[in-house]
């Protein structure tokens, strides 16, 4: 069956009602567009675990830099989603998603202003509000979120639980390029290889931090300093915004690295801001590093 593409929420609704009536399982993947190989992995996982797979494509303006334009080709995205196993794609635009009387946002207190949102204050609130709206629309059995975006994946899980939404949030491992360690990301797609290699230094420094902790160091200041030192030596065109050891639930900085916690880094070149992190929840993740889907 060819993919069904609904170009608005309004057009998708009748089909969604029909789908719920069948009682078959639905997996959903929500995206900003400009789909790449990592989205492909997330979509394949949803398609492998469900009878139907819905992909949404909409560059959610409340999580993006105000006034910026997210470059994507909708027709290419629809074809790629289909290729990866989606049977329904829903797209929308600012006019439909944010009419002038739009008023509702997910509020998760201080935790939504930490990690990436300590740099872009609106990011987590926008990401979580965006994700919850799509989940509310699609009512999937399970919705899939990548661990590239640690804070979003954990905050969406928190919101779904707190708002009593009947949906299983499934975390998909971060998809990284094997040669550099860089997570596949729409925002990095135009970077030449030498700058991608520089960005990859973040992952290698995070791994240094993890190994230090694994060897018994728990003092967060010592860990942050070690990660910082390695990064400073490797960065030439980017600067460090922060290196932090944070609680895995509240994202507040901690004095001691005790499971579960997040080791998180942000760097910027003034135009591109890159976040990367390790969410360490178990002894196994601490010992072996969180699972990665490696792209050759
Ligand atoms: N490298 C990746 N590994 C795992 N999941 C990913 C990866 N890239 C994107 N995803 C997941 O795909 C979903 C949609 O992400 P999104 O459309 O924002 O792509 P993106 O590449 O993260 O964009 P951007 O680079 O602008 O942040 C999210 O759940 C996100 O975590
Ligand atoms: C889930 C999402 C589509 C919500 O706008 C976005 O945050 C994203 O693509 O990660
Ligand atoms: N998937 C990350 C959301 C963002 O780029 O805003």
pLDDT digits (tens, 9 = 90+) for 108-143: 999 999 999 999 999 999 999 999 999 999 999 999
Asked if the model's pLDDT at residue 212 lies above 90, the reply is: yes
Query: In the chain, what are the domains?
Result: 4-175 (3.40.50.620), 178-285 (3.30.1300.10)
Give the model's confidence band at 52: pLDDT under 50 very low, under 70 low, under 90 confident, else very high. very high
What does DSSP assign to residue 186?
Answer: G
- Please, what is the end-to-end C-alpha distance for the chain in angstroms? 31
22 C-alpha to ligand 3 centroid (Å): 32
pLDDT category at 1 given cuts 50, 70, 90 is confident
- Under DSSP, is residue 169 helix (H, G, I), strand (E, B) or coil? strand
Quick check: 43 and 50 in contact, CB under 8 A? Answer: no
SS3 55: strand
| Alpha-carbon span 99 to 8, nearest angstrom | 14
Query: What residue ranges line ligand 3, CB within 6 angstroms?
Result: 63, 123, 127, 149, 152
The neighbouring-strand residues paired with 183 are: 176
Provide the pLDDT for residue 152.
Answer: 98
- Binding site membership of 187 for ligand 1 (Cβ less than 6 Å): yes
Burial annotation 10-26 (CB, 10 A radius, 16+ → b, else e) = eebeeebeebeeeeeeb
Residue among 27, 34, 32 nearest 50 (CA): 27
Alpha carbon distance 37, 130 (integer Å): 22
Give the mean model confidence (pLDDT) for residues 38-57: 98
Catalytic positions, written as ranges = 39
ipTM score assigned to the predicted complex: 0.96
pLDDT (tens digit, 9 = 90+) per residue, 170-205?
999 999 999 999 999 999 999 999 999 999 999 999
Encode pLDDT of 233-273 as tens digits.
999 999 999 999 999 999 999 999 999 999 999 999 999 99
């Amino acid at each position: 069956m060819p993919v069904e593409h609904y170009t608005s929420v309004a057009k998708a609704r009748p089909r969604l009602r029909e789908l719920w009536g069948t009682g078959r399982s639905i997996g959903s993947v929500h995206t900003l567009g400009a789909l790449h190989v990592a989205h492909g992995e997330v979509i394949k996982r949803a398609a492998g675990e469900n009878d139907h797979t819905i992909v949404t494509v909409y560059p959610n303006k409340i999580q993006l830099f105000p006034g910026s334009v997210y470059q994507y080709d909708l027709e290419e995205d629809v074809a790629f989603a289909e290729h990866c196993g989606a049977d329904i794609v829903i797209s929308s635009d600012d006019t439909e998603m944010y009419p002038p009387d739009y008023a509702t946002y997910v509020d998760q207190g201080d935790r939504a202003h930490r990690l990436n949102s300590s740099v872009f204050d609106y990011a987590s609130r926008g990401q979580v509000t965006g994700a919850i709206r799509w989940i509310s629309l699609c009512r999937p059995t399970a919705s899939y979120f990548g661990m590239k975006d640690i804070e979003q994946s954990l905050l969406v899980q928190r919101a779904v639980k707190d708002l009593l939404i009947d949906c299983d949030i499934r975390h998909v491992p971060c998809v990284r390029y094997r040669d550099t360690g860089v997570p596949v990301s729409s925002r990095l797609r135009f970077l030449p290889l030498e700058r991608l290699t520089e960005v990859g230094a973040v992952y290698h420094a995070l791994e240094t931090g993890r190994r230090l902790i694994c060897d018994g160091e728990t003092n967060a200041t010592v860990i942050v300093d070690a990660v910082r030192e390695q990064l400073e030596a490797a960065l030439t065109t980017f600067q460090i915004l922060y290196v932090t050891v944070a609680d895995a639930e509240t994202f507040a900085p901690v004095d001691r690295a005790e499971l579960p916690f997040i080791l998180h880094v942000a760097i910027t070149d003034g135009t591109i801001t890159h976040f990367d992190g390790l969410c360490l929840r178990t002894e196994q993740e601490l010992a072996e590093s969180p699972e990665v889907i490696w792209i050759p």
